[in-house]
Structure 1
Amino acid sequence: MSLDYIKVFAPATVANVACGFDVLGFAIDSPGDEVELTKSDTGEVRITKIIGDGGKLPTDADKNTAGVVVKAFLEAIGSKQGIDIVLHKHMPLGSGMGSSAASSAAAVYAANKLMGSPLSDLEILPFAMEGERIACGSAHADNVAPSLLGGFTLIRSYSPLDVVKIDVPDELFATVVHPKIVVNTKDARKILKGQVPLDKAIRQWGNVGALIAGLLQKDYGLISRSLEDVIIEPVRSLLLPGFDEAKQAALEAGALGFGISGSGPSLFSLNRGKKTAETVAHAIKSVYDGLGIETDLFVSAVNQQGPSIIRSNESDSAKTI
């Protein structure tokens, strides 16, 4: 018996987490993307349908994140198996919540399961990262790692790739607010400075180390003090209307800290307890209501599971090549 069809969900993520540009990220329960993979006898990887993207995403498998990661995975395991892909986009493009990463993570996770799990979840992470290269020009892992592995992740090194999962306190909840404005990820990376003053770098390093310590020690005061970005936020926040007002509103409502989710426009806060997280969400929403900007609100604990199988079919006749 082998699988001939599988449908997988992978969660949205918050990358950078204030002080950890390109090295920190965590998964949330929702939203997320879904993919359906079906074996075929064509010997090709094909994107047969995309739902929910408004016709914006390419159906060419060489240009679509889901297609790219599945092709890379099959090549790595030496398979010529044909696979048809249906992609369900439940996240707005360019949201700053890891939309491309969720598609990549779901696709490569599904492909691995479909082919009998020849590789571990950690071993398929580099293929998911290639989807990010297609999406934004850089194969960073701060979104795909938590989406694929679940939890809160630290990228210790990219060469060689070394990913560490970090335990988090049970009462830690995230608020993510998506203002319905557009920030292009590639543009948000282009505006960043190539050099950082030493004093700011030292302060940022201290914050990253202290944030990890705060999470492990369940020290909410230390977590709060460490959620400070002195390098990326001062530049990227200029692209986000209402950022300063939203940050002030979140902190006044009890947030431990506040920042930009990925490259924006989504914003996040970490909070102690679900009730506080919900209060913060509505405080931020009020700011954007006043600016006439619609928002989507998400409140979640850190998602520890990562991808999940929604449905699959086993077949005696399914042929694996």
Structure 2
Amino acid sequence: MEEKYIKEVKALNAVKTPPLGGREASAISVFAPATVANVVCGFDVLGFAVNEPGDEVVMRLTNKPGITISKITGDNGRLPLDPAKNTVSVSVQHYLNSIGRNEIGLDIELHKKMPIGSGLGSSSASTVAGLFAIKTLLGDDADPARLLPFAMKGEEMACGYGHADNVAPALFGGFVLIRSYEPLDVIRLPHPENLHCAIVFPDVDVPTREARQIIRKNIQMKDAVTQWGNIAGLVSGLFMNDLNLIGRSMKDVLVEPVRSMLIPDFYKMRDMAMEAGAISFGISGSGPSVFAFTEDADTAHRITQKLQQHLTALSIGSNTYVSTINDNGPRVL
């Protein structure tokens, strides 16, 4: 499948694998950010990166060919050390296959700095950190966009479908639109500089695979038309720096009505966020995290505080994050 993707990413200059450049290092540590996928109305086609949380991958060259995972922290034992079953190592192996470097030996440490199953792109952050690490470690100065098909392979392993609305913003940074999957066509969108994101992750379990399975397979034409209009309105609002248009466009009539049932007091939290000054409110990815756009950091902090207090009253723990949109993507630590 990765060969098919490489041929298709023409808009990202990913048709042909260029030779490696620079000088190989022996070890590297890379951070990749969390992401908010869907952005309410753009199921599988919209996403953006945030500054925190995120994941860290430490990668070292070894003398023995093949990939090993020597350590995983922060996962409470939930992630496999088997390199054939971990999204980081599987994606890196696909990349090595593509450049003909299977003689390389690698040891990987994965440090989870974000919750698993949060709806914040946990698997994509790890995968992108690993791919950016191996690319940098080997001195591959080609366009990072070539890594996207391999990152999508990690998503396919994680949830059964190789969607790009998490891995693309994690890899490129910023606000991203996946215009098409076949052929793959990914576009970075502008956004207002003062746009802040308030994120609350309730401590409830919403597995991504199950959250995808409950989505309706058939929809009414009137709902599709509403959704198309909202996606177009959101993209237009981003280009025009129109916060009001962004807010009134972020409505979902297809996915949110079903997924919201998995999140305690979702509509109550939405009302609270809007009353506290949010521009918009919705589910991050498959949930259970929720997010709100605001015009400033103070409003974002006020919203996270109010929602966290509400969840505490329901005996539900939570984590909160406030961030601008991260335009940088992965970085070497």
TM-score, normalization by structure 1:
0.95
Say whether 1:73 aligns with 2:92. no
* SS of residue matched to 1:194: coil
Aligned residue identity for 2:119: G
The corresponding residue for 1:140 is: 163
The corresponding residue for 1:107 is: 130
User: 46, 49, 62: which is aligned to 1:24?
Assistant: 46
The corresponding residue for 1:50 is: 72
Does the CA contact (< 8 Å) of 1:214 and 1:223 recur in 2?
yes
Say whether 1:150 aligns with 2:137. no
CA distance in 1, matches of 2:330, 2:213: 31
Aligned residue identity for 2:73: I
* SS of residue matched to 2:126: helix
- Give 1:283 shift: 2.1
The corresponding residue for 2:306 is: 283
4+ runs deviating over 6 angstroms: none
Say whether 1:247 aligns with 2:267. no
Aligned residue identity for 1:73: Y
CA distance in 2, matches of 1:116, 1:292: 50
- Once the two structures are overlaid, the 10-residue window that deviates more, 110-119 or 133-142, is 110-119
- Give 1:69 shift: 0.7
User: 182, 186, 205: which is aligned to 2:205?
Assistant: 182
CA distance in 2, matches of 1:110, 1:142: 21
- Give 1:175 shift: 0.6
CA distance in 2, matches of 1:286, 1:208: 32
Residues 75-94 of structure 1: matches in 2 within 5 Å? 75-80=97-102, 81-94=104-117
Aligned residue identity for 1:180: D
Cα RMSD between the aligned structures? Answer: 0.9
CA distance in 2, matches of 1:129, 1:106: 13
Aligned residue identity for 2:87: T
**Where in structure 2 are there 5+ consecutive unaligned residues?**
1-22
- Give 1:118 shift: 4.8
For these two proteins, the number of residue pairs brought into alignment is: 310
CA distance in 2, matches of 1:148, 1:100: 13
CA distance in 2, matches of 1:301, 1:286: 23
CA distance in 2, matches of 1:289, 1:245: 14
Q: Any idea what the Cα deviations from partners look like across 1:90-144, whole Å, max 9, x if unmatched?
A: 1111010000000001000111111112531111111011111111111000000
Greater relative contact order (Cα < 8 A, sep 6+): 1
Q: Any idea what the Cα deviations from partners look like across 1:60-83, whole Å, max 9, x if unmatched?
A: 111101111110000000102111
Does the CA contact (< 8 Å) of 1:245 and 1:287 recur in 2?
no
* SS of residue matched to 1:47: strand
The corresponding residue for 2:10 is: none
- Give 1:41 shift: 1.7
Say whether 1:211 aligns with 2:223. no
Does the CA contact (< 8 Å) of 1:285 and 1:295 recur in 2?
yes
The corresponding residue for 1:313 is: none
User: 307, 310, 320: which is aligned to 2:330?
Assistant: 307
The corresponding residue for 2:196 is: 173
Q: Any idea what the Cα deviations from partners look like across 1:259-309, whole Å, max 9, x if unmatched?
A: 010000100111111111111111221221221111111000000000010
- Give 1:156 shift: 0.4
The corresponding residue for 2:5 is: none
Q: Any idea what the Cα deviations from partners look like across 1:136-180, whole Å, max 9, x if unmatched?
A: 111000000001110000000111111110111111000110001
* SS of residue matched to 2:232: helix
Say whether 1:267 aligns with 2:290. yes
CA distance in 2, matches of 1:187, 1:103: 21
CA distance in 1, matches of 2:210, 2:142: 35
Taking only the aligned residue pairs, the percentage that are identical comes to: 48
- Give 1:32 shift: 0.2
The corresponding residue for 1:4 is: 26
TM-score, normalization by structure 2:
0.92
CA distance in 2, matches of 1:76, 1:150: 24
CA distance in 1, matches of 2:122, 2:186: 21
CA distance in 1, matches of 2:97, 2:48: 29
* SS of residue matched to 1:50: strand
